[in-house]
Structures are given as structure tokens and as C-alpha cells.
Structure 1
Amino acid sequence: MSRSNKQEKQSKYEEYKKQRPKKLRDMSAFIKECDQKLSERMDGISREICANSEIKLIGLIGPTCAGKTTAANMLEKSFSAMGKKLHTISIDDFYYDADILHRQSRDGEIDYDSPDTIDVAELRRFVKEIFANDRSHCPIFDFTIGKRNGYREYECGENDIFLFEGIQVLYPEISRIFSDSGHPSVEIYIAPQGSLETGGRVFVPNEIRFMRRIVRDRKFRGAEAEFTFRLWKSVRENEEKNIFPYVEKCKYSIDTTMPYEIGVLKPFLVSALEHIPTNSPYRKEADEMLLKIENVIPISHELIPDNSIYKEFV
């Protein structure tokens, strides 16, 4: 997204904040407008890819809390409207069993973002099978038991396309599998890429993702903010090492920054951050974040449409 478009979104957000006391439907309309622009971007990318009938492999890459899961669902609908069947494959399904990973880890803690956790040979087999047979079989990794639990079968017909989703897709060990397949592939990078100015403060992309992660972890994964703070350093180190250096390889880029999002996140953030104990090593950072969002006008998450990418976080 161009700088002028980002600035336009920001100015519209400030304008809508001023109008907000009049009617909630003004903010609701603005939210729908932002989501519609993202949907149109997805549709445009889908049309371009479908125009090349040789493309059977797509990589959807992004750092944590980029919106990959919902984006994959949106792309599936776009491809379906064009007569194509898009199969979303999670790279997570190619993890080694947890007992193997525990033995390989240095301190007993499994770093699921590490390239070493992926069974590259199994992934290579699956990709080869896509082009060799009319059926392919993808393993199913069950996190509740920490191991593979069966296989999922996919058709590999003329109109079937496979989208591989996960932060690991750009890892050299993984991307090499697609380039070695002998068939053209394309990568899509997705992440918040623009800063937001609201409440008199500026929020940069990595900060926005961190806020999303705090809210998502607490709401959907039962993890308190202190846990997310503790993990964040290693998450960011992995992104800087294994994702961001390779982003320029991606043909397409999708910016998931939503001009309204800090207002939507605020009530959830306040609740999560206030639960961090006073003696926690992250209490100071939590207080700094609370201070930064203090003047942000809250926006009800109930205004978010059910098909919005933001439902992934709130």
C-alpha cells in the first residue's frame, strides 16, 4: 500500500473519531469500508494468479499476528468465485512429533518457529505427490497429543491449487522445495505494514502486531499477557532471522493495518495488561503501553463484521 493511501486512511480515522458521538453507524460504515478495501486487494491478487494456469503452488507468508489464517479463507473464496479450488495447507502439519523435538532441543523447550522443527522430507514428498498423482496426502499434526494423527486427502486436478500457509514458508529449507518442484510458484507476504497515529501517539507495525498478539493469546489461547511478553523477544528474533530477510522474494504484498484497530484493541489491552503482577519484570513495559493508549478512543468490537480479518484477534 502506498504512503498516500496510508495517510488517507489515517486522516479518515481521525475524521470519523470526531463524528463518532453522532451515530455509531458512521464508525461501522468506516470499518466496513476498510475491510472492503482489503477484500478487493485479495480479489485482485487472486485474479492475477488465476490468469496463469501453470501456477499450482502459492506461499502465504507473514510474521505472527499478520492475519494469515483469515487471509487464507478470504483467498479461498476469491479463487472459488473464479472456478478454482484453493486448498490451504498449514506448514504446522509437517512438524516432527513432539518427543523427537524434545530430544533435539537444547533445554527441553520446543521452539516451533525454528526451521529444524519441520519434517522437510515429508513436505517434499507431499509436494511431489501433488504433481505425480490425482490424489495427495497431507499429514495432520494434532497439537493436543503432540504428534501426527492420520492424513488428509486432496484432489490434484486441473483446477486445484495449493496454498501453503505459515511463517516458515520463506525459510530457505522450505522455499527450496517449491523451487525444486519444477513448477512455477508464487509467494504472498502479509503483515501490518503501515504506522497508525491516534490518540496523539504513533503505533508502528511491530508494536501493532504485539498488541494483537497480547489480545489474541488471552482471548483464544488462554495465555495471560505476561506469558506473551516473555515470548515476544524470541518471536521477534526469529522473524528478523528467518522471515524479514527474504520478504523481497515475494511477488505480492498485503498490508493488514486497519485504521480502526487500536481503538478496538484498547479495552482488551487494558484488561490484559492490568492483570500483570506488580512484581513482574514486564510491569514497567505494561504501564508504558497503558499510558500510550490512554487517549485512544475505544471502539466496540461488536462493530467488526463477522467476515473481517480482525475477527482473528478479537
Structure 2
Amino acid sequence: MIDTVRIHCLNTGEYKDVPVGSSLEELIDIFGVKKPYLIANARVNNKTEALTYKVYHPRRVEFNDLSDSSAMRTYVRSLCFVLSKAVDDTLHNAKVFIEHAVSRGYYFYIESEEAVGEKELMAIKKRMQEIIDANIPFVQVEEEIDQVVKLFRENGMDDKALLLETSDELLYARYSKLDNYIDYYYGCLLPSTGYLNLFDVVPYNGGYLLVIPNRQNPVELEPVIPQQKLLKVYREHIEFLKISKLDNVGDLNKAIRSNKISEIIQISEAYQANEIADIAKEITDRYNDGLRVVLISGPSSSGKTTFRKRLEVQLYVNRLKPVGISLDDYFIDREHTPLDEFGEKDYESLYAIDLDLFEKHVIALLNGEEIELPSYNFVTGQREFRNHRLVMDNKSVLIVEGIHALNPKLTEHISRNQKFMVYVSALTSISLDNHNWIPPADNRLLRRIVRDSRYRGYSAQETISRWDSVRRGEEKWIFPFQENADVMFNSAMIYELAAIRRHAEPVLQQVPRVAKEYSEAYRLLKFLRYFNYIGDKELPPTSLLREFLGGSSFRY
């Protein structure tokens, strides 16, 4: 009888025969794996697994510490579980709603029969620490899905029950236990609460902020960065969702199955149209006070280009003449792109832009001179000139769109009263359930995967491989300036991930299982299964989502 199994540990480069049924947690000691920070999960044959995962067959294993995004997600999920149990232990019939990432933490609020003040918050934090100190294991339980749904309903967790019963048909589903408290998380958890060595909970804008380890230096807590404008946009959209009775994805799936998706699409599109009209009115009102340049920024795949085009249409309605340019057309040739600290081409860098040519063109336009606009070829990586000429007159306003548009260095020679700044991002406000938010970065990554495959000739594997670099660039070049915006526009739509699913799945399924990027592709495929399919035939040709899915009436 074979009682050992051969494991290849990528962290040490070693092969070892280990006892059959060894857990990943045990393999850390067997291989003597050392990482700078807490090890939270591992990639096993390029699929992310919890450290409680046991090996029964030959496997290739790579352990991840908190510097890895998937490991940080595992830590945060586990911390949210402890928070939810602590609230349940401390307050009578209380519910926690974890809504979104803001100010480098996670915003949540508590519904309770009791008043929640400073004393109650301290009791919750104390209970969290007690649970952590007790080193209680997170236990995974798998049962027939009907039984899991019934269990959640019996415990007043209708949001989780609805999510599971409206997702793709499954015979079995997993839930998690912490002592006698049950919850549901769609990703892996830590082995036990004792791993959670760093956290805080602080009051924040009428609710609370769960503070987590710093993503660059996980032995310290993230600093709480004020983001009042971002929080305001989230609150407005969550209020809109509550009015629409679409708090979570289970509600959306239920609406799809009830043939109400057409109405939801129309309402969602009308909501965005109204916001764009409001922004255009504010720009028009300020035009008489000297405003001449509108700067539109936002992270990758936030929908900046379509927002710009729709804003330009509305400005025409307001009897202004928008003249639009994209910073993407001012990329320097790919061979000259600066490198980041990892030696990779840093396309997110401000200095990937030809700043001298851009400044020369903006000043010329504001002086009423004609310019020849460059065009960047994303396939060849070269700048081209196609005799595309622009000029402004006395009713014109210049629209500049690009990830660096809010960076003060880009337009430092233009006075503040001449500029109006807009920050655009897909701030996904709908959640899977009350404890599982949808990261906007996942929303944007799925948009980018579909767009890159359709229009730029990149595979999902290539897009995923570049994503960490993109995210690092956003942290450095975009997010620090978002609160400078005069207004923020949320480009995420209630229904969009249900529409994206049929476009993203075939592209993600092409990622080879042997590729490192397979773990992320697999995670995204599992995530998309929570959404019922909808077609995009009812999306209007002016929909912002058309920028990624195709079929837009705008030219890009």
C-alpha cells in the first residue's frame, strides 16, 4: 500500500515524498517554507486552495503570503467571518452588512435592536480578539444544496439562501462554521482564527471601518485615508439598489428568472443618463466663469471613453462644442516605455505619456490653433498620425480623457478655474450577499479581459498576467488623486456582470491549466457562476457596457 505521495514545492524547488493526506499547513513545515509575511493559502496545480487542503495525489504547490492578492483576500474573508460572529455573540438579533472597500478598509454597518455606540463597538472588538485568541478552526461543511439553503433560512440568512438557490444548478454546496456560527464565503479561509494577528475596527461616517493589514507591508495596518466623495457615490448607488429591491445578486437572479431584466436594464441606463446630464449642466454653468477644460480620469476599464462620448453629446445639447482627446493617443512608442521596479513595462506611469507633446497641443487648442491629433496603435505599439485635426472656437470646451487626467503635473500650466475634474470608476455596489461584496477591481478585470480579447488581440492569460502591474500603477498614479475630482461618476451597472458572463467565460476557459494565470481565471469563472445569464440584445447602442461587449454606436 502506497502511504506517501510526491509533492513539488515551487517555493523551495524541492520534490519530497510526504504522507498521504498531509495538509498544506503541514507541508509548510515539511518543506521548511519561509516567506516574509504570513502564509495564508497556496496554489495547488494552479488552483488556489486553503491551507487545510489535503494531498492524496502528486501535486505542484506554491505557498502565498499576504503580499499576494489572493492571500490577502483569504485573510480579509476570515476576518469578516470573525467580525460577523463577534457581532452575533455581542448584540441581540443583530445583522452585519459589509458593503465595499473604502479608505483602505471595508465599510460596514450594523442593524440591531440595541443602540450601537462606543461601548458596544469596544465589546465587539473585545469579542473579536477573544475569538482570535481561542484559535478556533474554520470548518468547511458540504451538504446537498437544498439542506444548505434550508439551514440558512432557518438562521435568518435569506440573502445567502437566495444566492445559492438562484445560482447555477448544483447538487452540493459548502458553508463554513466557526463554533456554532455559520456563514458563507465563496473563497477559501484560513485554517483557524489564530492566524488573524492584525486588525482594527473604527467608527467611520455613520458606520464602521474594518481596518486590515497594509497591502505593501502586511505587518502594519493600512492607514485610514479619507475618501468622502467615494463613500458618497457608494451610498447614493446603494440607496438606488434598495429602492429597486436589488440588494444582492440573489435578488438580481430572481428578477432575471421573473423576466424583469428588461425593466432593470432600462432603469440602470436611465440612472446613468441622468447622472451624465447633471454633470453636463454643472460644466455648462461654470463655462461662463472661465471653465475651458474637462479632465476625465479613472482606472483601467472604468468606461472613461464612453462616458466622455456621452458627456460630449449632452454638452452639445447644452449648446457647447466639446473637442475631445484621449491620453491613450499620447503614449510614447512601446519600446521607450519606462520600466517599473520589477523591470516590467509600466504602461500606467505618467511618463509613458509624451507630456511635452500633450502640453503643446493643449496650449495650442486653448489659443484657438489647429493641431494634428496623434493615434496610438495598440497592436504595433507605435504612434501614428492619420490627418485627424482639431481646433476650438469660442463655444468649445476641451475634453481630456485618460488615467492621468487628475494628476496635477499633467495640467500644471492651466489655472484651476479653467479645469473641471471628473473621476470615473466601476464602483460595484451590488453584493453577492450581506457579507460578500464584489470588488470593483474584479468588475474592471472582467471588462478588460473581454475588451482586450475582442479589440486588442490579447488572450485572457496575457491580460491577467499584466493585471498586478496595472493595479500597482493605479495605486501609484490614479487613486491618490481621485478625491481631487469635482464629481465622481459610477460606471458600474446593476446588471452588467450577468451580461458580461457569456462574453468572459469562453475567453477565460482558454487559459491553459499549466499556466500560473489559471488560478485567477478559475476564480473568476467560479465567481461568474453566481450570475444568471442575460443577453445583451436589450442593451442600447449607447450603453457604456458596449465599449467592452461590442455593438456600440460610438466609434472608438
Taking structure 2 as the reference length, the TM-score comes to 0.52
Q: Does 1:5 align with 2:237?
A: yes
- Tell me which moved more, 252-261 or 11-20: 11-20
> What is the alpha-carbon distance in structure 2 between the residues aligned to residue 22 and residue 148 of structure 1?
50
Deviations 1:203-244 (A, max 9, x none): 121111111111221222222111111000000000000000
Q: Give the match for residue 327 of structure 2.
A: 91
> What is the alpha-carbon distance in structure 2 between the residues aligned to residue 33 and residue 164 of structure 1?
29
Equivalent residues in 2 for 1:240-259, closer than 5 Å: 240-259=475-494
Q: 1:135 to 1:169 in 2, by over 3 A?
A: same
Equivalent residues in 2 for 1:1-314, closer than 5 Å: 1-3=233-235, 5-9=237-241, 12-13=245-246, 14-15=250-251, 17-23=253-259, 26-52=260-286, 53=288, 54-98=290-334, 101=336, 110-132=345-367, 134-143=368-377, 144=380, 146-149=382-385, 152-179=388-415, 184-198=418-432, 202-314=437-549
Deviation at 1:8, TM superposition (A): 3.6
Deviation at 1:3, TM superposition (A): 1.7
Deviation at 1:117, TM superposition (A): 2.2
Taking structure 1 as the reference length, the TM-score comes to 0.89
Deviations 1:133-160 (A, max 9, x none): x333143134147134255433322110
Q: 1:148 to 1:313 in 2, by over 3 A?
A: closer
Deviation at 1:267, TM superposition (A): 1.8
Contact 1:6–1:194 (8 Å) recurs in 2: no
> What is the alpha-carbon distance in structure 2 between the residues aligned to residue 5 and residue 233 of structure 1?
28
> What is the alpha-carbon distance in structure 2 between the residues aligned to residue 166 and residue 292 of structure 1?
29
Deviation at 1:91, TM superposition (A): 1.4
Contact 2:295–2:400 (8 Å) recurs in 1: yes
- Tell me which moved more, 287-296 or 79-88: 287-296
> What is the alpha-carbon distance in structure 2 between the residues aligned to residue 140 and residue 2 of structure 1?
36
Number of aligned positions between the proteins:
307
Contact 2:294–2:421 (8 Å) recurs in 1: yes
Aligned-pair RMSD on alpha carbons?
2.4
Q: How high is the sequence identity, in percent, across the aligned residues?
A: 25
Deviation at 1:109, TM superposition (A): 6.2
Query: Which of the two has greater strand per residue?
Result: 2
The AA in structure 1 aligned to 2:306 is: T
Q: 1:4 to 1:247 in 2, by over 3 A?
A: closer
Deviation at 1:202, TM superposition (A): 3.1
> What is the alpha-carbon distance in structure 2 between the residues aligned to residue 202 and residue 2 of structure 1?
12
> What is the alpha-carbon distance in structure 2 between the residues aligned to residue 236 and residue 16 of structure 1?
29
Contact 1:137–1:151 (8 Å) recurs in 2: no
> What is the alpha-carbon distance in structure 1 between the residues aligned to residue 494 and residue 438 of structure 2?
11
Q: 1:251 to 1:138 in 2, by over 3 A?
A: farther
Deviations 1:137-192 (A, max 9, x none): 1431341471342554333221101000111212343132434xx76111100001
- Tell me which moved more, 156-165 or 12-21: 12-21
> What is the alpha-carbon distance in structure 2 between the residues aligned to residue 313 and residue 121 of structure 1?
31
> What is the alpha-carbon distance in structure 2 between the residues aligned to residue 145 and residue 230 of structure 1?
18
Instruction: Could you tell me which runs of 5 or more consecutive residues in structure 1 were left unpaired when the two chains were aligned.
Output: none
